[in-house]
Amino acid sequence: MSFVALIPARLKSTRLPDKPLADIGGKPMIVRVIEQALKSSARLVCVATDDEQIKAAVEAAGYTAILTRSDHPSGTDRLAEAIEHLGLADDAVVVNVQGDEPLIDPLLIDAVAAKLIADRSLAMSTACHAISDRADFLNSNVVKVVLDAKQRAMYFSRAAIPWPRDAFMHDQAVLPAELTPLRHIGIYGYRAEFLRTYQKLSPSCIESIEALEQLRVLWHGYSIGVHISADAPLAGVDTPEDLARVRDAFARLSKI
């Protein structure tokens, strides 16, 4: 299996300033993410950043970073520039590994890449896991996805989908046994050709309504394959509390 893992990273963060450089067990978080990605089957792991400090931190650790423009509206657009720096062919598979997930499972990275490699009709791939908690199902901050028979995304939504109409008419206290809603996991795979195309796609109304960038892809008629993970991934770092939790996790691992 041949693919490239790209990690978009920017220094600005409203909830956690200088997040990629935050120390986790003596190393910057961005370096911890690289180390996890290197445990996957990726033939190349590279950071795409708009900040010299991040680039310097990555290179000081002996890894690869590309300096990109600072005006990209999304991480996807940043990756589109990065693949040009790397000279990737159109059929190259690229997995977008978030720069704030130092505990990401390397096998999840492989699974997202494998989806694209196995099915050339897909433009993108991503992942999900089953929701068993009613509160998560009804939480608008939890993005849900509905799949077709080929495990391709039909729709992503912050709403509770699919809605169990008949069951909830009688009782909304618990999820019905026959319902297995799926929570979207924010990791994406792309063909390099589609990354080049994505920049030219106009935003869609549903994308802005739901505030979900991946809906632009479905709205324009492209297919997204979805890997169903057996387990929920460990949470990334968005807040100081998250950072403390991850630091504790690495401290425990260092003692093993």
Over its C-alpha atoms, the chain yields an Rg (Å, rounded) of 19
User: For residue 168, what pLDDT is reported?
Assistant: 85
Residue 35 pLDDT: 96
Task: Find out whether 190 and 97 touch, Cβ atoms under 8 Å.
Answer: no
pLDDT given for residue 238 in this prediction: 85
d(C-alpha 198, C-alpha 129), whole Å = 26
- In this prediction the pTM is 0.92
Specify the pLDDT at position 14: 64
What pLDDT sits at residue 235?
A: 81
Give the domain ranges of the chain: 3-127+184-250
> Which three-class secondary structure state does DSSP give residue 5?
strand
CA distances 107 to 17, 35, 189, 236, 250, Å, are: 30, 13, 14, 16, 19
Cis peptide before 162 (omega within 30 of 0): yes
* Blockwise average pLDDT, block size 10, the chain, 256 residues: 91 79 93 96 95 95 93 82 93 94 95 95 96 92 96 96 86 82 95 92 93 94 96 86 90 74
Domain 3-127+184-250 has CATH 3.30.1330.40: no
Which pLDDT score is estimated for 192?
94
Task: Compute how many other C-beta atoms are within 10 angstroms of the C-beta atom of residue 6.
Answer: 27
CA of 8: how far to CAs of 98, 101, 252, 253, in Å? 7, 11, 28, 26
